[in-house]
Structure 1
């Protein structure tokens, strides 16, 4: 079948494959796989030794032996084309699509929106070999999916999720199949952290990474990697204007093992809606400073019901309605909570259903400690 099949895909299939919701809820691991960082480090040591012997410097990223080429050479064999078999008929309501994925352990990781409702997908590897993969688990809340492959090609070694937090300004590479152009590489930096991305469930995907590396339809599900060859995140979407997003490795490293083992992942759930605490909210509620998140809603019969208090009215400041009453969450355990993005990240990455967490809240101008026992996020009907 080869690459010819890929190029025969209609333009609609290409665009549908990588399309995602536009950007901007609440609620809310063992490592999986090794290989990428070790291979890159070994290769770089060998290259540096050769350069030293030849009196050459390979720090130039555009040099044939530079770091971008090294990372690409050592990782690209673990990056795959994911094809969901469907119809090429442009009037078909359920055409097939394509996206990207990458090997972690003995499974392939991609986005849930890439595989959709499919139970099996076709995977094409760098050496032109095709494999059928079984979708063993998907999680719409994090837009992640795990695909089992009986016989991975010998060229694969498997990549690993980084254990370190990314740093704004560090270089990052995107590998995948943008617009169906296989085995592509784009380069940029980590340009933002703790972004919230929409999901079809209505809950936000937390702790996402923003990058200026070009991300296009077809890149979805591929890896965003560091120059050490470790996976920083799973590419989620491009928003145009040189902005792309990836699901953080720390979240993927919690979700993917559960998908492999159980076919699903249980997200922690508190059951509140929150809003930002700006200067007007701080003034209206007699807060010493504008920080934390204001509890705007408490879901009935949720873990927060009877524990946290929502807003109970509003006042006017400079002609604008401003909510009053309600708890202001300023910390969870030892973690400060300056905004909603940080709240969703802490819940997603540091808590589990069944765990009791201690919150510091400002209630009627006084600091109080309250405890909430988290539950599993309830099922939702997807559109």
Structure 2
């Protein structure tokens, strides 16, 4: 095993105390990668797997498990990434996207000085970074002379319902390459923490086993379509993936421009709890509470933040701020809904209609969205209300 290790930042970021294992792409580089799946010998079962998600039913043995069928249909499009950085080396996973590009996580290739990609039949190719986006933890790399059998995996068109059977395919711990673990979609519309302090909306939660080295690999349904890009795992039957919808929003921009500009309101938000509702004269908890407004930000002078703190049932809560209940004609009940709208439907420079409750009155205000900065403002979102949009 290599003596080089990844930095603590790359290995422990992400979900903090929520997940025991943190980000899934923090595997050390190791010498023994085995022969299963990716890198399997040409004569092995995995080394000769054929087909992809679009022709799985043409080549599948009807006596095989559906998990075996989806594995055979997708494994040739899944790759291992061996990444060198100034501080060490590590490995992660990825998969072939349209036009032969490879999608992975930003935290897998962050600070890379060299990337080698291994395909399922053992071929190695040098790769270069095309674009990265830390706010969505997505990255695109390119290789020359991609093997013809490594075809693009299709993505789902709609968010999978909870209970959908899924398979995580990748390289846990950097040595168990070509592994598959099965589970279900356990939750949708989750918010997970990005390395830069912002949140990633619309994430998919799964109970499929995910470990260091899986990051960047595909989470696929039994039709072989990608429902998300694995981001983090290692907790108590909890792992997360960047949704296919966010991938389709961000990745084309990374390919074309090398970066992606996120829409930005410049506010700190809080969930409307029963005590916040009581402090602000609501008959029931609803909407998203605006605690702080960033000075000179897009919402400055348009939205109103907290005017005071008051005690309700022994709890000190903010009061006097706007409560967002709609955007662009859509009702908003949770922070996740607002974050998903901004991430998936809005762009910097666009003017959106926000419906807010202010002082018990319902009104509509217009906000021209800005471009998200590299990190949240140090003076906003601390303490009780860490969600910043």
The two structures have a TM-score, normalised by structure 2, of 0.83
Residue 20 of structure 1: how far off its partner (Å): 4.2
- State the partner residue of 1:103: 96
Per-residue CA shift, 1:213-234, capped at 9, x if unaligned?
Answer: 0000000010001111111111
Coordinate RMSD, CA, aligned: 2.2
Q: Distance in 1 between matches of 2:239 and 2:282?
A: 37
Indicate if the aligned counterparts of 2:190 and 2:336 stay in contact, CA closer than 8 A.
yes
Indicate if the aligned counterparts of 1:14 and 1:217 stay in contact, CA closer than 8 A.
no
Deviates further, 117-126 or 226-235: 117-126
Q: 1:43 aligns with which of 56, 61, 77?
A: 56
Per-residue CA shift, 1:29-87, capped at 9, x if unaligned?
Answer: xxxxxxxxx9445432665xx8xxxxxxx5xxxxx52211111101001100101125x
Q: Distance in 2 between matches of 1:39 and 1:15?
A: 37
Q: Distance in 2 between matches of 1:322 and 1:16?
A: 33
- State the partner residue of 2:45: none
CA spacing shift, 1:69–1:15, aligned 2, 3 Å: farther
Q: Distance in 1 between matches of 2:128 and 2:160?
A: 31
Q: 1:270 aligns with which of 246, 260, 265?
A: 265
SS at match of 2:261: coil
Indicate if the aligned counterparts of 2:53 and 2:154 stay in contact, CA closer than 8 A.
no
CA spacing shift, 1:10–1:229, aligned 2, 3 Å: farther
Q: Distance in 2 between matches of 1:16 and 1:292?
A: 34
How many residues align? The count is: 342
Please tell me whether residue 94 in structure 1 is matched to residue 87 in structure 2: yes
CA spacing shift, 1:239–1:39, aligned 2, 3 Å: closer
Q: Distance in 1 between matches of 2:151 and 2:316?
A: 58
- State the partner residue of 2:82: 83
Q: 2:356 aligns with which of 350, 361, 376?
A: 361
**Structure (1 or 2) with the greater helix fraction:** 1
Q: Distance in 2 between matches of 1:15 and 1:242?
A: 23
SS at match of 1:240: coil
- State the partner residue of 1:208: 203
Per-residue CA shift, 1:142-168, capped at 9, x if unaligned?
Answer: 111100112111221111221111111
- State the partner residue of 2:384: none
Gap runs ≥5 in structure 1: 1-7, 25-37, 51-57, 59-63, 87-92
Q: Distance in 2 between matches of 1:312 and 1:16?
A: 36
Per-residue CA shift, 1:227-284, capped at 9, x if unaligned?
Answer: 1111111100104111100011111111111111111000000100011111111111
Gap runs ≥5 in structure 2: 19-50, 378-389
Per-residue CA shift, 1:147-193, capped at 9, x if unaligned?
Answer: 01121112211112211111111101100000121100000000011
The two structures have a TM-score, normalised by structure 1, of 0.84
